[in-house]
Amino acid sequence: MKLSRLVCAAAIAAIALLPSVTPAESPDGFQPIFNGQNLDGWHGRPHFSPIKLAELPEQERADKLAEWQADAEKHWSVENGELVNDGHGAYLVTDKDYRDYELHLEYKTVPRADSGIYLKATPQVQIWDTTEEAKFKLGADKGSGGLWNNSAGAPGKDPLVCADKPFGEWNSVRVLQIGARTSVWLNDQLVVDHAIMENYWDRQSPLFVSGPIELQTHGGEIRWRNLKIKELSTEEANGTLAAKGADGFESIFNGSDLTGWVGATDNYEVVDGAIACKKGKGGNLLTEKEYANFVARLEFRLPPGGNNGLAIRSPLKGNPAYEAMCELQVLDNTAEKYAGLDKRQYHGSAYGMAAAARGFLRPVGEWNFQEVTVDGSSITVELNGNVILKTDLSEITEYMADSAHPGKDRPKGHFGFAGHGDAVQFRALSIREL
């Protein structure tokens, strides 16, 4: 939660100082983010950590923003409806932050220029001179469009193909970003396929939940045009995540009744195609089948203050938080009554053992998409396209309240829900066994 608040503070500071623009939406849902006439809706900022910017005293932050804006206005101009940078000065940043979206733009640059597109204030979709041999050691020969600031060897760092057009021609870029999951097409060729974009500013944390688009300038003239963006609805974002890599998953819920489930069946009901814990009820609803290593996908919706959990390799009896491999929390982190919890009790955490990153739930009442990978003693939780937990339970030696977790080494067990009296709902449940 802390990082998201910091980035929001920086964005608010920028917006407060600069004019805003609200372009008309087109029939396909895209909005222009450059009006073709001036820099309205944009402000200047160089390569500077949004975390550090948010931490500055208010006056110092305002001074820096004013300084960067003045610098940007010296080096950015508009010619024939094109946004032009001379290769110098502060980068250009949208006043608005974006969470899940599809971005389209075109660019044209010159030899020996080196540029890029920051997503959520983070570097970057790389733009190279693919002929500059001095930068082949950095990957320029592999082509533009990769997430160059990802770690060496990480998916997305190098583009899948070299798709750059010759100098003097316009290159088209399409970016689809949901959470940290990022796909990039360069000139209609897929160059990054659903890769996790790393948080360059804080490698130990997921990518910021939202942030601005930023156009880098570095060493030579670059021109931009036809910049437009479509913000994705929750349904569009979740649907895209669910469709990616769906092969091999088998449904574990028929959408109409609790066939295939055992345990506290009287305390759960099916409502509009979702399994719902009855308000004031609870207990464990588990699959008849046991699973060892698997990937589970589901959507869940929390009421205000909602509390439930995913039982992982659970026995049929006992408390999954201790008797199962673990209980993965399903919790409204924003509820005031939960403000003082141990960090290992918030959403996505392996209860009492390993803390998940916070700030990535959708607003209460919206459906969230979650993927859980259980492989040996390792668990990965991906929430709305962001990896919020990646842990090896065999390495856990400290437990909340010094409570033993005798089930954490279970090799297999049932999957399901550990209800705590709140009307939490689950749907689109599927599992792929590893």
Number of structural domains found in the chain: 2
d(CA 94, CA 44): 9
- Cα–Cα distance between 328 and 312 in angstroms, integer? 7
Query: Residue 75 class from Cβ within 10 Å (0-12 exposed, 13-18 middle, 19+ buried)?
Result: middle
Structure tokens at 423: 């009307």
Separation CA 424–CA 233 (nearest Å): 21
Tell me whether residue 12 is in a domain. yes
- Partners of 122 in the beta sheet? 119
Residues 274 and 318 in one domain: yes
**What pLDDT is stored for residue 218 in this prediction?**
84
| pLDDT for 25 | 52
232, 253, 268 - which closes a domain? 232
Judgement on whether residues 270 and 406 belong to the same structural domain of the protein = yes
334 occurs within a structural domain: yes
- Shared-domain flag, residues 256 and 228: no
Classify strands 76-79 and 82-85 as parallel, antiparallel or unpaired: antiparallel
Domain boundary among 185, 206, 232: 232
Report the distance separating Cα 346 and Cα 338, nearest Å: 8
Same domain, 177 and 310: no
- Are residues 293 and 413 both part of a single domain? yes
Sign of the dihedral defined by the CA atoms of residues 194, 199, 204, 208, in that order: negative
Q: Are residues 25 and 137 in the same domain?
A: yes
Cα dihedral sign for 269, 270, 275, 278? negative
**Residue 318 belongs to some domain of the structure:** yes
For residue 60, tell me if it sits in a domain: yes
Query: How, if at all, do strands 101-109 and 91-94 pair?
Result: unpaired
User: Which domain CATH number covers 415?
Assistant: 2.60.120.560
- Between the alpha carbon of residue 188 and those of residues 184, 228, 237, the distances in Å are 9, 16, 21
- Both 183 and 311 in one domain: the answer is no
301 shares a domain with 198: no
Q: Which of 356, 366, 347 minimizes the C-alpha distance to 387?
A: 356
Q: Give the whole-angstrom CA distance, residue 414 versus residue 229.
A: 43
Q: Domain range spanning residue 259?
A: 245-433
On whether residue 209 sits in a domain, the answer given is yes
Torsion of CA 156, 160, 165, 171, to 10 degrees: -40
Question: Which residues sit opposite 228 in a β-bridge?
Answer: 32, 104
pLDDT score at 1: 38
Give domain status of residue 238, yes or no: no
Which of the listed residues 205, 232, 259 is the one where a domain comes to its end? 232
Q: Are residues 283 and 154 in the same domain?
A: no
**Residue 28 confidence (pLDDT):** 84
Over the chain (434 residues), what is each successive 10-residue block's mean pLDDT? 42 39 62 97 97 97 97 96 96 98 97 93 95 90 96 97 95 98 98 98 97 93 97 98 96 98 98 97 97 98 98 97 98 98 98 98 98 98 98 97 95 98 98 98
Does residue 141 lie in a domain region?
yes
Note the pLDDT of residue 325. Answer: 98
Tell me: do 227 and 273 sit in the same domain. Answer: no
pLDDT at 37: 96
Q: Are 232 and 98 in contact (CB under 8 A)?
A: no
Q: Are residues 262 and 349 in the same domain?
A: yes
Q: Is residue 237 part of a domain?
A: no
Same domain membership, residue 195 and residue 264: no
